[in-house]
Structure 1
Amino acid sequence: MTQKTLSPRAWADLALLAFFWGGVFLAVRVALDEIGPLTAVLFRVTIGAAALWGIVWFKREPVPRGKGFVIGAAGMGIFNNIAPFCLMAWAQLHIPSGLTSIFNATTALFGVVLGAIAFADERLTLRKAIGVLVGFGGVAWAIGPDALHDFDLTSLAQLAVLAGTLSYAVAGIWGRKRLAGVSPLVAAAGMLTASTAILLPIALWVEGLPTFAYSAATWAAIVYYALVATALAYLLYFRVLAMAGSGNLMLVTLLIPPVAITLGALVRGETLPHSAYAGFVILTLGLAVLDGRILKLGKTKV
């Protein structure tokens, strides 16, 4: 089976998606100046769900009935929204948003490993194994050799982001097993709705009732990460998936960190250690080996 090629339209959509998701790290960090991590995520999933259900209604998409869809959506809500969003939001209180975006790219590495365990048709080839090892080597380099030796909140925050990416990978397996055949739009709307139902009592218990008396910057950040970086981004995500395939879609994980790093530096004056940049280069190499196209180009006759 040959891999789909990226058309100019697909490249443009992929770049736009990377910009949307690259900006979410800055938007969340801005919101965290006034609201807690759980409340920030609650706004994201609630507003995102409302927007997507509006689109479902407009397009007259069929919605599955029964326990299977509810369980599938609930699992996706936990693994793809609540766990990673909350862990990464808390982590951004202690590490720069650009560093969070770099670690976010490890989702593809965890996905390959867990996919090989869960599915017979996603076996771990030698090339994939090398790519995973190189990629995790880049992550270790980005964290820094002294991070675990001198363990502190910064180290814990980095591990929290990695735990979030592991949760994203679990979500991919859960979605394939539990939501097969469900419209991607309906699945996304159901997932965000389940996230809202599960997170609402937890956020109210831990952080209390939101005051809603936030600054214009905080509201702008909430609107951005809920409507643009969640609802609109999901629509763009599925369009790129249909045009270019999942292999090409993985490239977005390499385009997000430069956007997040640049925005964090320009807006909040964030700086990253040299080890973070070096680690991202190594991680990129690992993902490129996983993707496989560089090796194929090397075999192409001129």
Structure 2
Amino acid sequence: MRAIDWILLWSLSLLWGGSFLFNELALAGLPPVSIVWGRVALAAVLLVLAARLSGQGMPPRRVWGALAVMGVLNNLVPFSLFVLAQGQITGALASVLNATTPLFTVLVAHLATQDERLSPMKAAGVGLGFAGVLAMMAGEDLGGALPAMLACLVAALFYALAGVWGRRFRRAGVTPLQTAAGLVTASTVMLTPIWLALDRPWALPWPGAVPVAAVLGLAWLSTALAYLIYFRILARAGATAISLVTFLIPFSAAGLGWLVLDERLEARHLAGLALILGGLALIERTRGR
């Protein structure tokens, strides 16, 4: 990759890593459903505008059902689980658990596709990665952080399911920008009645400037702008290059958490991260071959 591609890749890792920091800041004044609704609704405004200004427009009607499923898998469930989990654990730890997404993707792709089967090298990578998860969970109190860590793993599984489900949009002739705009729009439509019923936003007190700014950051930086950079890297450097961002997000999230919130990862969390990244390295080596 060229220097500009690496700059874009690190920028994307900062934007996605920053979502964990934004979640923590938003939780100081807003309930979880309001945070997720704000993230998808405000991102939809920018991405729909970008799709129309680019001349691509919105996705055709025939794919909106599939986009609704994608919205549940890629936005509603994982976004909500991460926000809920971060009421109990740090964003740095949540980002490490998020790095298991490619491990789950290998397993889901093996079961759901014919062209991405599980090889011995991939199986070794998955095993090494989940050994890292077990290392991080060792000694956790069942009534403490463990449920939150499990929620992060379920969220990572949903991201993996979304990755396999999303393959259909390219075959259907839907551009990545159309997919992103349709995805957040469908998510907003589905979440709005739940948000109104559960949070009754008209009755919520003013959350303060910091939580509001954090939701704006989630929507416009970690979602809308991140999608646009993602598509540019994908077009310039390909899918293998974009997969490297998985290695960078935990470091970006941990660095931002340390800089802004004085968060620290424990030794077992760092050991688990090393095992997860080792597993991902084995999987990427197989892809390279």
Say yes or no: TM over 0.5.
yes
- Give the whole-Å Cα distance in 2 for the aligned partners of 1:161 and 1:93: 12
Q: 5 Å matches for 1:106-121?
A: 106-121=100-115
- Give the whole-Å Cα distance in 2 for the aligned partners of 1:116 and 1:248: 21
Percentage identity across aligned positions? 39
Equivalent AA in structure 2 for residue 115 of structure 1: A
State the match for 1:25 in structure 2.
20
TM-score normalised by L of structure 1: 0.91
1:197 equivalent to 2:189? Answer yes
Q: 5 Å matches for 1:286-297?
A: 286-292=279-285
- Give the whole-Å Cα distance in 2 for the aligned partners of 1:286 and 1:227: 32
State the match for 2:156 in structure 1.
165
State the match for 1:299 in structure 2.
none
State the match for 2:147 in structure 1.
156
Q: CA deviation at 1:63?
A: 3.2
Q: CA deviation at 1:84?
A: 0.3
2:52 to 50, 54, 57: 57
- Give the whole-Å Cα distance in 2 for the aligned partners of 1:127 and 1:242: 28
Return 172-181 or 238-247, whichever deviates more: 172-181
Q: Which 5+ residue runs of structure 2 have no aligned equivalent?
A: none
State the match for 1:300 in structure 2.
none
State the match for 2:215 in structure 1.
222
Do the aligned residues in 2 keep the contact of 1:69 with 1:179 (CA within 8 Å)?
no
1:174 equivalent to 2:165? Answer yes
RMSD: 1.7
Equivalent AA in structure 2 for residue 205 of structure 1: A
Q: Which 5+ residue runs of structure 1 have no aligned equivalent?
A: 1-5, 297-302
- Give the whole-Å Cα distance in 2 for the aligned partners of 1:226 and 1:64: 21
1:71 equivalent to 2:62? Answer no
State the match for 1:138 in structure 2.
132
Return 203-212 or 47-56, whichever deviates more: 203-212
Do the aligned residues in 2 keep the contact of 1:72 with 1:179 (CA within 8 Å)?
no
TM-score normalised by L of structure 2: 0.95
State the match for 2:269 in structure 1.
276
Deviations 1:179-214 (A, max 9, x none): 632111111111101111111111222222154723
Aligned length: 287
1:260 equivalent to 2:289? Answer no
- Give the whole-Å Cα distance in 2 for the aligned partners of 1:77 and 1:162: 18
Equivalent AA in structure 2 for residue 17 of structure 1: L
Deviations 1:115-148 (A, max 9, x none): 11111110111111111111111111122x223x
1:93 equivalent to 2:52? Answer no
